[in-house]
Amino acid sequence: MARVKVLDKEFETSIPEQTILEAVDRVAGKINADLSDKSPLFVCILNGAFMFAADLMKRVSIPCQITFVKVASYEGTGSTGKVKQLIGFNEDIKGRTVVLVEDIVDTGVTIEGLVAQVRSLGAADVRIATMLFKPQSCKKDVCPDYVGLDIPNDFIIGYGLDYDGYARNLRDIYTLIK
Residue 155 interacts with which of ligand IMP, Mg ion, none, CB < 5 to 8 Å by class: ligand IMP
Q: Is residue 112 a contact point for Mg ion (CB under 5 A)?
A: no
Bond prior to 169 in cis (omega within 30° of 0): no
**How far apart are alpha carbons 89 and 113 in whole angstroms?**
13
- On whether the CB atoms of residues 28 and 59 are closer than 8 A, the answer is yes
Q: How far is the CB of 11 from ligand IMP (least distance, A)?
A: 10
Q: Is residue 48 a contact point for Mg ion (CB under 5 A)?
A: yes
Give the binding site for ligand IMP (CB under 6 A): 48, 73-74, 79, 102-111, 155-157, 161-162
Measured CA distances, 80 to 1, 106, 126 (Å) = 31, 12, 25
Cβ closer to Mg ion: 103 or 112? 103
The reply to whether 106 belongs to the active site is yes
Cβ closer to Mg ion: 48 or 148? 48
Q: What is the DSSP string of 65-76?
A: EEEEEEEEEEET
Cβ closer to Mg ion: 3 or 70? 70
Q: Which stretch binds Mg ion (CB under 5 A): 3-11, 36-44, 87-95, 101-109?
A: 101-109
Q: How many H helices and E strands in the chain? A: 3, 10
Write down how long the chain is: 178
Q: Which of 106, 125, 141, 154 is flagged as catalytic?
A: 106
Looking at the annotation, which residues are catalytic? 106
